[in-house]
């Protein structure tokens, strides 16, 4: 099963999946992202489209009308507040809806509209008069499956004849009873059981197979194998659609097994630019000095919003307690919280209820809060061996100064190792203000 532990042997909260192995629960992070997301992630990059048949014309749409959806579905799309297709949807939607059916592998960072795209495709694909499962959608966890289901329900609310079933653990079904729902969303284990052991679904009648979050899926061996086994039960004519936020070689290999002859759509991430971020350092000999420096800085932190990064959960908790004792209002985002609790903390912070958020690296991955203008590294990021982790550093300070705004990063260091960054006098803060 998926690794649940976010903490290293020394109590260190490690952030990187690739460098430190399977410490971060990718499915949880993905869920957190979905819970806190309210709108599309903005991206100026061009969509790369690789067509299987290079001579067939390349369609891309600028409006939902061009897709010629049934009016009920179009109404559902508009009722969600979508005015026009997102960047990835412009190319992905016409491909997914085309006749004859085409297979698709699509990659773009989370928040760019993939889920909405395949939910629309499923709703448009099914024949409501046929009372059996026609679309199968697999997702890495129960919670993520429910998130997808909610999108289908919202978007399909004017299509009352299209029904949805959740193939997730706990949803007990009697053996041999045939499902009548046209769309089934679930986790690989349950879906596989429903197709084989329980015979609730006839896999030969499935004409659209969606595999969401392929990168998260293959991080769990069992899920990877179950997905491949489901795939083997399907017919050659079934349309295969695969989505992923990242694309390493392992994801790619998996994608090619599941989706033969695929069209490929990719949208590169926006580069994080540091041009608009001013970086400073403060030399402190220990935690107490760091704390004092932070208190001196405090007035400047709360001009806008700040995030303070600590190396361990323990340090983050210590700092939060002490800042609160000084009468400061701070929020703590910690690995001990459930995903729902973390989402609530971020929500409060985003709404400005707290202006300062103390966190560790693991917790903060993927969080975009637009108004963050100041990032404080209470501890500089290091990897398991204690070496400077510049990737995480860039990732962290990239939070400040997003969307072309001015940002500041303040690093608390115990020596003058980092000469490229300017020393900051916390008794003279004109520069920051």
Give me the least distance between CB of 88 and ligand ADP, in Å please. Answer: 7
User: Which residues lie closer than 8 Å to 361 by C-beta, 6 or more apart?
Assistant: 13, 14, 15, 309, 311, 381, 392, 396
If you ran DSSP here, which 8-state letter would residue 205 be given? G
Give me the least distance between CB of 301 and ligand ADP, in Å please. Answer: 29
Nearest Cα residue to 331 out of 304, 343, 349: 349
Q: Does 246 bind ligand ADP (CB under 6 A)?
A: no
| Chain residues 142-171 in contact with ligand ADP, contact rule CB under 6 A | none
Name the residue nearer to ligand ADP (CB basis): 91 or 115.
Answer: 115
Cα-to-chain-centroid distance, residue 361: 16
Which among 3-11, 53-61, 105-113, 229-237 is the span making contact with ligand ADP, rule CB under 6 A? 105-113
Give me the least distance between CB of 151 and ligand ADP, in Å please. Answer: 7
Name the residue nearer to ligand ADP (CB basis): 12 or 227.
Answer: 227
Rounded to the nearest 10 degrees, how much is the dihedral formed by the CA atoms of 227, 232, 235, 238?
20
Which among 107-115, 197-205, 327-335, 382-390 is the span making contact with ligand ADP, rule CB under 6 A? 107-115
Give me the least distance between CB of 89 and ligand ADP, in Å please. Answer: 6
Which among 110-118, 193-201, 340-348, 402-410 is the span making contact with ligand ADP, rule CB under 6 A? 110-118
Bridge partners of 360, per DSSP, are: 310
Which of helix, strand or coil describes residue 293?
helix
Give me the least distance between CB of 152 and ligand ADP, in Å please. Answer: 12
Nearest Cα residue to 277 out of 246, 307, 299, 311: 307
Q: Are 110 and 139 in contact (CB under 8 A)?
A: no
Give me the least distance between CB of 86 and ligand ADP, in Å please. Answer: 4
Among 43, 103, 112, 187, binds ligand ADP (CB under 6 A): 112
Name the residue nearer to ligand ADP (CB basis): 150 or 302.
Answer: 150
d(CA 241, CA 208): 8
| Chain residues 69-88 in contact with ligand ADP, contact rule CB under 6 A | 82, 85-86
Q: Does 89 bind ligand ADP (CB under 6 A)?
A: yes
Q: Does 94 bind ligand ADP (CB under 6 A)?
A: no
Nearest Cα residue to 185 out of 236, 154, 157, 146: 146
Name the residue nearer to ligand ADP (CB basis): 89 or 141.
Answer: 89
Name the residue nearer to ligand ADP (CB basis): 49 or 293.
Answer: 49
Among 39, 99, 351, 387, binds ligand ADP (CB under 6 A): 39
Give me the least distance between CB of 75 and ligand ADP, in Å please. Answer: 15
Name the residue nearer to ligand ADP (CB basis): 152 or 400.
Answer: 152
Binding-site size for ligand ADP (CB under 6 A) equals: 15
Cα-to-chain-centroid distance, residue 133: 28
What are the structure tokens assigned to 423, written together?
């020393």
d(CA 21, CA 317): 25
User: Which residues lie closer than 8 Å to 87 by C-beta, 6 or more apart?
Assistant: 43, 45, 47, 108, 112, 113, 267
CA-to-CA dists, residue 245 to 57, 61, 107, 265, 288, angstroms: 26, 22, 5, 12, 41
Nearest Cα residue to 102 out of 139, 59, 143: 59
Which among 38-46, 167-175, 293-301, 339-347 is the span making contact with ligand ADP, rule CB under 6 A? 38-46
Backbone φ and ψ for 12, nearest 5 degrees, come out as -80, 140
Name the residue nearer to ligand ADP (CB basis): 238 or 267.
Answer: 267
Q: Does 305 bind ligand ADP (CB under 6 A)?
A: no
Q: Does 43 bind ligand ADP (CB under 6 A)?
A: no
Q: Are 192 and 226 in contact (CB under 8 A)?
A: yes
Q: Does 121 bind ligand ADP (CB under 6 A)?
A: no
Q: Does 111 bind ligand ADP (CB under 6 A)?
A: yes
Give me the least distance between CB of 58 and ligand ADP, in Å please. Answer: 20
Name the residue nearer to ligand ADP (CB basis): 347 or 383.
Answer: 347
Rounded to the nearest 10 degrees, how much is the dihedral formed by the CA atoms of 182, 185, 189, 191?
0
d(CA 403, CA 407): 10
Among 2, 35, 40, 283, binds ligand ADP (CB under 6 A): 40
Where on the chain is the footprint of ligand ADP (CB under 6 A)?
37-40, 82, 85-86, 89, 110-116
């Amino acid at each position: 099963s998926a690794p649940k532990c976010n903490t290293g042997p020394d109590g260190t909260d490690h952030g990187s999946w690739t460098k430190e192995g399977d410490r971060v629960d990718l499915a949880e992070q993905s869920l957190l992202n979905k819970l806190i997301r309210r709108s599309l992630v903005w991206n100026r990059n061009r969509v790369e489209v690789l067509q299987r048949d290079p001579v067939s014309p390349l369609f891309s749409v600028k409006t939902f009308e061009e897709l010629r959806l049934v009016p009920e579905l179009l109404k559902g799309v508009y009722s969600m507040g979508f005015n026009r297709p997102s960047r990835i949807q412009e190319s992905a939607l016409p491909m997914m809806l085309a006749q004859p059916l085409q297979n698709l592998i699509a990659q773009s960072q989370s928040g760019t509209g993939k889920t909405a795209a395949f939910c629309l495709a499923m709703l448009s694909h099914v024949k409501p008069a046929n009372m059996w499962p026609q679309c199968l959608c697999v997702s890495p966890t129960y919670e993520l499956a429910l998130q997808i289901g909610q999108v289908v329900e919202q978007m399909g609310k004017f299509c009352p004849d299209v029904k949805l079933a959740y193939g997730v653990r706990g949803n007990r079904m009697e053996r041999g009873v045939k499902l009548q729902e046209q769309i089934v969303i679930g986790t690989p284990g349950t879906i596989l059981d429903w197709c084989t052991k329980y015979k609730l679904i006839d896999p030969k009648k499935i004409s659209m197979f969606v595999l969401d979050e392929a990168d998260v899926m293959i991080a769990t061996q069992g899920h990877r194998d179950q997905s491949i086994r489901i795939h083997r039960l399907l017919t050659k004519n079934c349309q295969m659609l695969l989505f992923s936020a990242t694309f390493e070689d392992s994801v790619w290999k998996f994608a090619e097994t599941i989706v033969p002859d695929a069209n490929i759509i990719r949208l590169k991430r926006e580069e994080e630019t540091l041009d608009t971020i001013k970086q400073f350092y403060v030399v402190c000999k220990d935690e107490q000095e760091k704390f004092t420096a932070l208190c001196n800085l405090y007035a400047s932190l709360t001009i806008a919003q700040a995030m303070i990064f600590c190396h361990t959960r323990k340090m983050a908790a210590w700092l939060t307690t002490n800042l609160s004792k000084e009468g400061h209002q701070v929020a703590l985002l910690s690995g001990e919280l459930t995903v729902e609790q973390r989402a609530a903390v971020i929500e409060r912070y985003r709404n400005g209820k707290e202006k300062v958020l103390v966190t560790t690296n693991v917790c903060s991955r993927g969080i975009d809060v637009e108004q963050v203008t100041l990032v404080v590294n209470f501890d500089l990021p290091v990897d398991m061996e204690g070496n400077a982790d510049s990737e995480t550093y860039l990732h962290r300070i990239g939070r400040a100064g997003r969307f072309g705004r001015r940002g500041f990063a303040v690093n608390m260091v115990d020596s003058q190792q980092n000469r490229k960054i300017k020393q900051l006098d916390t008794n003279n803060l004109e520069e920051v203000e």
